[in-house]
Amino acid sequence: MAAAGGGASVNCLLVVSLLLLNSINLIAGHTYIVGGDAGWSYNINWPQPGQTFVAGGTLVFKYPAREHNVAEVDVEGYSRCEAPPGSNVYSSGEDYVKLHRGDNYFICGVRSHCRDAGMRIVVTAE
């Protein structure tokens, strides 16, 4: 009987370990560095065609904090390159933003970086 109980414990431990590893892979797989190696910068060409995103995933914006910021805006703010009142604006230089399902719009709200230097993106999360 002792052998059977020991086997059940090992099986239970194996199942728990696999679930934990799967959870870690899911979390790690849902972090996206905006702009890749170039980061959040002028004339950003990101996301790449075919790149997919998951709702609940995290975008990481990396940039020189004294040069830029990140404003989470609606479609109108994106079109106008303006952060409407009440918009979430981040300025740490390493900002973590959760994606919601659908289109997520971001601009740089510093001077004319959005309009004249192409600092705006749309990320669609499924």
Q: What CATH number corresponds to the domain at position 50? A: 2.60.40.420
Span 75-86, pLDDT tens digits: 999 999 999 999
Q: Which domain holds residue 40?
A: 31-125
Indicate whether 11 belongs to any domain: no
Indicate whether 19 belongs to any domain: no
Indicate whether 120 belongs to any domain: yes
Span 43-67, pLDDT tens digits: 999 999 999 999 999 999 999 999 9
DSSP type of residue 59: E
Total number of domains constituting the chain: 1
More confident of the two residues 101 and 25: 101
Q: How many C-beta atoms surround the C-beta of residue 3 within 10 A?
A: 7
Q: In this predicted structure, which of 6-10, 16-20, 31-35, 51-55 has the lowest mean pLDDT?
A: 16-20
Which pTM was predicted? 0.77
